[in-house]
Structure formats: C-alpha cells, structure tokens
Amino acid sequence: MKIIIFLSLLVFSMNVEGRYHFHKNQKKASSDHPPNASIPQPQPQPQPPVYPPSVPSDPGSAPTDPGEDTDSGPCVFDVTDYGAIGDGSTDDTPAFKAAWKDACAVASATVLVPSGCTFMITSTIFSGPCKPGLVFQVDGILTPPAGPDCWPEKDSKKQWLVFYKLDNMTLTGTGTIEGNGQDWWDLPCKPHRGPGGSTLPGPCDSPTLIRFFMSSNLHLSGLRIQNSPMFHVKFDGCEGVMIDKVSISSPKLSPNTDGIHIENTKSVGIYNSMIGNGDDCISIGPGCINVDIEGVTCGPSHGISIGSLGVHNSQACVSNITVSNVIIRDSDNGVRIKTWQGGAGSVTGIAFENIQMENVRNCAIIDQYYCANKNCENQTSAVYVRDISFRNIKGTYDVRSPPIHFACSDSVACTNITMSEVELLPFEGELVDDPFCWNAYGVQETLTIPPIDCLQDGMPQSVSDEGVYECS
C-alpha cells in the first residue's frame, strides 16, 4: 500500500513541478523567502528526511485528453490583458473572473498575476470543474479591500479567495497574498487579551483569506501569505493536498489567524514551510485522515493542534496524523489534542516525533476538557483518544506551565500513550518537575525529563464500550 501511495505522490509532484521548473529539495527546510520576512529562520536541527515523504497527495490524476497537444507550451492568461489595472485601489475583480473563465476551459492553462503590481479584488469564488492542470500563479501582490469598512455589502464576510470544485489545480508564485487584517483584528467584537490574562469579548465574522472547498489533487507552493483577517488558508472537504515551501505570517496577538486549517479532508502533506501567527500554526479539525506534517517551523503561534473536536455534542473522527522534524518556538502550545466534553468519535494513530521546542508553554498536551469560554458544564461522553506517541521531543519550555499535560475524561480514559526520549528543560528559571496526568494510560519506553510518573501503566480496569467512540 505504501508503495502505491508513494508512486501516486511522485507522479503528481513531477506533473506539477515540471510545469514550473520547481524542484523539491527536502534535505533541509526552505530558505526561499522574501528578504524582509519577519518569521524566524529554521535552525539546523532537526533535519527533514532525504527521501520524499510517503503521504498520498494524488488519489487519482486526471487522464490526458487524447486530443490535447502535449507538445505546445502552456497557455497563459495574464489578468492585465483582461483589463486589470494593478494600482492597489481599482477593483480588478472583473478582469480576474474573465481570465479565470478562459483559462478554466483549457488544459494546463495559467492565470497569471504579474509582478510589479498590486491587484485588489473583492470576495470571489473561482469555481470548476475546469480542465486539468490549471495554475493560478501570483507573482505580484494580491489583496482584498482594506478592512471591513471597505468590504462590499453584497460580499460574504466569512471568506475572500475561494477555489471550489476543482481537480488537479495549483496555487503558486513568487508573490504575496496580503490580507489587510489589522482593521479586522481591531473590531470590538474580536477576542483580545485583556489585563491580567483575561479575554475580551468575541468573536465576529471575519473572512478566511484563502479557502479550498470540495476539491481534489491540490498543490499550494512558493507564496508568501500574510496578515489574514482570520484563518490564512483553509481546506474543507478536499482530498489529495500538497503544501510545500510557503511562508505564512501575522502578528503574535492577531486573533483567530490560524496558519493552515484542514477539516473533512484526506491525504494531506504539509512540508518545508514557515508559519508565525496569532493562533494555531496548523489546526486539524474533524474528518481528517492521513495527514503528514514535516519540515515545518512554527512560531510565534499556538502550536500544532488536533481540534478542537466534539463541540456541541458532535461526532469527530481523526486518524493517522504524523508530525515530524518540526521546530516550534516562542509558542503558547507545542503539540496538542483538544476535545470538548460531550462529544463522540475518536482520535487515533497520532505520532509526534523528532520535534524541537524552544521556549514553549504546554509542550505536549492532551485536553479533553477544552472550553473556549471557561463556563462549560461537565458531561460524561467524550471523543475517544488512543494510540498517541511522543518520540524524541526535546528542547526548552516556559515554566509558567508544566511542559506535559494530559487531562483525560473521567469516563473515557486516554489509552496507549507512548513516551520515548522526551527531554524538556526550562528556558529560564527552575525545573518544573510535576507534569500533570488525569486518567491517562500508557508506557514510558525511556525516562522522561521531567519525569512523568503520573502516566498509568496498562489499561483502565473498566473501559467504556469502544464501539461507541469508533469511527467508520
């Protein structure tokens, strides 16, 4: 099975990269970012692998049309040929829509956003189906209207750039997608950190910058994406996603600005990217299967999170997630699983390995009591959490919180947790030697630093009916 997955990924990658003269080099994390990039550069440790990761990114490449002339070069549809001005204030939406419509009808076509200009477009859905191999290439600057006061009344305030019902499509380029998020972050209904660690009211509608919806065989690479009003990039209802060498950034205190969010999406690879923002670096929602995250540097951020899951007594199913060769620095969390009380479903087959922590609070956390407003009632049902491994997790932690925190449901224990080569020392101050565990069961293959004596051996004496929590 792994051989089939690997060959599918290789075919898809060669198809995309050959079109751009874009060559992967996974021996080290990419440093191909703008000179003024504000995200810290990765350190030599840990190193990404020298082989292509084996996560599927191409569940089924579209066949070549027998009548297609494969010898001719790709057709380029430059938005300026359709009347786009590129002065940063003129509404260039009609030109983009016209260029997209023509490119959509041609195999291996490119919608070109040329360098040297700033193009402003309003909330737009670029929909398919289109001919296979369509490329949206941003070499200039692409931006939405400047804040909520300039947002057209007829447009959705929940999304800006949407790609819908597409197959074998690429978003790439050497340019920048600028979100103009500051005025959105300053809205009085947004959650903000108040005095003494308190949180002021929120949230309210703000647009996700880029959304891929009900699409397959997608490739996102090369771009700088910054200052989103809300999530920077979101994948919803997709299958076969490759994200490689992207730079995502927003200020540390910008609210709800997750870097990459995926939900109801299968077969995802996120590689060699730099993400710094005011919320989760990468967040994995319900319905996600087979996700590989490798060679990513996060920080500042809220870390890499699975969840939150099970809100409003919903069912959530997440499985086969690997996070490896990652650096997380100056973040509120490291690697995290968070679920609401009252949910159902399961989180299984999660591997966190070869991760370097630098001044991180809550380096390793499982929280089955997640509550956004701190006024949640206790409930007995829970999302089942099992088969979670933490291997070679090393570095420094912020002593304001214990570096390891496993708070599992009273009624549904976390089981089969594996700890191996976990060595976490204070960034500054004295060693905190009391990791927290509640109803958590597993094994320590090696002694951890600090010791995690609270992890219980074996399995609980009474385990609830697992069938209630399993996902089909």
Per-residue pLDDT band at 218 (split at 50, 70, 90) = very high
Give the Cα separation of 469 and 344 in Å (integer).
6
| Mean pLDDT over each residue of the chain, to the nearest integer | 85
Task: Give 196's pLDDT tier (boundaries 50, 70, 90).
Answer: low
- What value does the mean pLDDT take over residues 100-116? 98
pLDDT of residue 169: 98
250 and 279 in contact (C-beta within 8 Å)? Answer: no
Q: Catalytic residue numbers?
A: 302
Percent of the chain past pLDDT 70, that is, above it, reads 79
- Residue 99 parent element (H or E): helix 93-104
What local confidence, expressed as pLDDT, does residue 470 receive? 64
Determine the Cα angle at 224 with ends 193 and 182, to 5°. Answer: 30
Helix (H) / strand (E) containing 12 = helix 2-20
Instruction: Label residue 30 by pLDDT band (50, 70, 90).
Output: very low
DSSP 8-class letter at 54: -
The answer to whether 166 and 134 have CB atoms below 8 angstroms apart is yes
Note whether 270 and 294 are within 8 A (CB). Answer: yes
Rounded Cα distance, 133 and 169, in Å: 6
**C-alpha to C-alpha distance for 384 and 25, rounded to whole angstroms:** 38
Give the pLDDT confidence score for residue 205 in this predicted structure: 87
* pLDDT at residue 62 is higher than 60: no
pLDDT score at 60:
34
The pLDDT of residue 143 is 98
**Cα dihedral: 308, 314, 319, 325 (round 10):** -10
436, pLDDT greater than 70? yes
- Mean pLDDT, residues 415-437 taken together: 90
pLDDT at position 42 is 41
Q: Which residue has the higher pLDDT, 188 or 94?
A: 94
**Per-residue pLDDT tens over the stretch 361-412:** 999 999 999 998 778 889 999 999 999 999 999 999 999 999 999 999 999 9
Residues in the chain: 472
Here the tokens at position 284 are: 């994995």
Q: Does the pLDDT of residue 152 top 70, yes or no?
A: yes
Assign residue 330 a region (left: φ > 0; alpha: ψ between -120 and 50; beta: otherwise).
Answer: left
Whole-number Å distance between alpha carbons of 60 and 212: 18
